[in-house]
């Protein structure tokens, strides 16, 4: 809906030029001219109010053509009046503001009026040519204005296209540079960190075999964890540089890889359904659930194997994490802060969260809409 604006001075001037000269004919109005005067007064209202009432596009051109025809008839019937001013004013305004069809009707109505006036009044050839010359000048002025407006629009369009092309070129260059940096980070830093983490894992196992001190093993494990964390951060940086959202299944896989390197235990991921991009809140909830489950496994069942199952359904995503302790764990007296947090995250998404002991380990199950 268009915003209502206040009438400006140019609106009153335009309406006055088209309407007021006709009103002078009221003093000498007859039964024939009264209907024409009333018609001009009524159909000229769109000239004043067309921007305020948002009428159909055809209303203003149609009203102007009617004004030209009515004021032209008044001019033929009362040639001594000022109604010709209204006719020429309406014609000029139509030529400036309307399309080719309305302009054609306006010129035809004005030319027909001039011819009818010349036939009825029999003026000299010079006086007869003067109104036609005025009409021709109006047409030329309107054509010149249309051409100027068209050239300005073409210039603005060309500038807009040039600016868009420049911005797209700059964006493409920036994306290409970011992709190059991402490749370097992935091929050099990420691979180096992955190799370092594996070497540290092998070193830790060798030290355990050779009976190294606990302090030495702790230092190696700390270095291994730093390498694993650095690898995860490097992958996040690559995704950010490429402006790609890291898929949930890939993030979970990285967490399990870190768990394997950290504990030496088996950690498997099973994905069912067709993986797809998830809402940020849903993805964060799933990843935080896996992180908390692995943290609890490290704390309460160190070295236990972990199985993670991620199921992509039509309307929801289900996550199951089970640590295989080889025995049924005891029931927790109260839910810890981590389990409470997982339940709260699921509740915020109108999902479901279950946690408890299974036959041979602890099990959590999370279902969230997607």
- Of the candidates 309, 310, 308, 278, the one whose C-alpha atom is nearest the C-alpha of residue 294 is 308
Contact 342, 353 (CB under 8 A): yes
Backbone angles phi, psi at 308, to 5 degrees: -120, 130
Compute the average pLDDT of residues 234-253. 72
Angle at 119 between CA 117 and CA 122, to 5 degrees: 95
Query: With pLDDT > 70 as the criterion, what percentage of the chain qualifies?
Result: 88
User: 54-58, 320-324, 358-362: which has the minimum mean pLDDT?
Assistant: 54-58
Q: Which domains does the chain have, with CATH numbers?
A: 9-122 (no CATH), 247-370 (3.30.565.10)
Angle at 243 between CA 242 and CA 249, to 5 degrees: 90
The pLDDT, as a whole number, for residue 337 is 66
- Of the candidates 232, 259, 248, the one whose C-alpha atom is nearest the C-alpha of residue 319 is 248
Chain segment 285-343, per-residue pLDDT in tens: 898 889 888 888 888 888 889 999 999 998 899 999 999 887 887 776 555 667 788 88
Confidence of residue 269 (pLDDT cuts 50, 70, 90): very high
The pLDDT, as a whole number, for residue 52 is 45
Question: What is the chain's length?
Answer: 370
Chain segment 108-132, per-residue pLDDT in tens: 988 988 888 888 888 888 887 888 8
Residue 242 has pLDDT above 80, yes or no: no
How far the first Cα of the chain sits from its last, in Å, is 36
Chain segment 15-32, per-residue pLDDT in tens: 877 888 887 778 777 788
For the whole model, what pTM was predicted?
A: 0.40
Compute the average pLDDT of residues 271-278. 87
The pLDDT, as a whole number, for residue 4 is 43
Average pLDDT, the chain: 80
Token pair of 152 as six digits: 């300005």
Residue 51 has pLDDT above 60, yes or no: no
């Amino acid at each position: 809906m268009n915003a209502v604006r206040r009438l400006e001075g140019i609106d009153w001037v335009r309406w006055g030029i088209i309407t007021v000269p006709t009103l002078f004919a009221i003093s000498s109005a007859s039964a024939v001219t009264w209907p024409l005067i009333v018609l001009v007064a009524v159909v000229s209202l769109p000239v004043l109010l067309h921007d305020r009432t948002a009428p159909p596009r055809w209303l203003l051109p149609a009203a102007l053509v009617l004004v030209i025809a009515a004021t032209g008839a008044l001019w033929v019937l009362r040639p001594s009046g000022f109604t010709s001013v209204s006719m020429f004013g309406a014609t000029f305004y139509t030529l400036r503001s309307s399309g080719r069809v309305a302009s054609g009707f306006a010129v035809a109505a004005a030319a027909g009026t001039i011819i009818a006036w010349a036939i009825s009044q029999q003026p000299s050839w010079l006086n007869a040519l003067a109104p036609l010359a005025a009409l021709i000048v109006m047409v030329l002025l309107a054509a010149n204005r249309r051409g100027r407006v068209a050239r300005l629009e073409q210039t603005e369009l060309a500038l807009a296209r040039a600016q868009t092309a420049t911005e797209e070129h700059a964006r493409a260059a920036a994306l290409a540079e970011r992709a190059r940096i991402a490749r370097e980070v992935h091929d050099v830093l990420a691979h180096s960190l992955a190799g370092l983490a594996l070497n540290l894992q092998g070193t830790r196992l060798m030290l355990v075999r050779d009976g190294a001190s606990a302090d030495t093993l702790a230092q190696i494990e700390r270095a291994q964890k730093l390498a694993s964390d650095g690898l995860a951060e490097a992958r996040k940086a690559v995704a950010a540089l490429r402006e790609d959202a890291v898929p949930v299944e890939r993030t979970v896989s990285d967490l399990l890889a870190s768990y394997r390197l950290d504990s030496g235990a088996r950690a498997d991921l099973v994905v069912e359904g067709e993986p797809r991009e998830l809402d940020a809140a849903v993805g964060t909830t799933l990843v935080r659930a896996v992180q908390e489950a692995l943290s609890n496994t490290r704390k309460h069942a160190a070295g236990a194997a972990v199985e993670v199952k991620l199921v992509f359904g039509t309307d929801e995503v289900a996550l199951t994490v089970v640590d295989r302790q080889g025995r049924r764990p005891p029931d927790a007296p109260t839910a810890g802060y981590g389990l409470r947090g997982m339940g709260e995250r699921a509740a915020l998404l109108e999902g479901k969260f279950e946690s408890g002991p299974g036959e041979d380990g602890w099990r959590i199950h999370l279902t969230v809409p997607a």
